[in-house]
């Protein structure tokens, strides 16, 4: 599931300014595995893999891979917990 205003950006630019003189850029694929949920206004950066069943919190900026069956939130996004069978009995995360 992908909520409103999510950005999946596969193109970036070099950090060093001398490499940007000629508008240098790079592209890396984003991999979204099955049953991932990406919250509203999240930004997924180039080269990131979102593991099976993971949840990305609203407004998060994902700069690194997120393991399967985890919840990641924040700027930059960090894994805050695993998704377990206890989540079958509750609405909240």
CB contact set of 80 (below 8 Å; sequence gap of 6+): 70, 71, 72, 73, 74
Q: Strand, coil or helix: what is 49? A: strand
Q: Strand, coil or helix: what is 75? A: coil
Annotated catalytic, 13?
yes
Catalytic residue among 13, 16, 34, 64: 13
Active site residues: 13
């Amino acid at each position: 599931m992908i909520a409103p205003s999510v950005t999946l950006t596969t193109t970036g630019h070099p950090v060093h300014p001398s490499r940007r003189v000629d508008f240098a850029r790079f592209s890396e694929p984003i991999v979204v595995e099955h049953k991932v949920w990406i919250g509203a206004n999240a930004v997924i950066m180039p080269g990131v893999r979102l593991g099976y069943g993971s949840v990305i919190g609203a407004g998060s900026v994902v700069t690194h891979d997120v393991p399967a069956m985890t919840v990641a939130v924040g700027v930059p996004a960090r894994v805050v917990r695993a998704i377990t069978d206890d989540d079958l009995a509750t609405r909240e995360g």
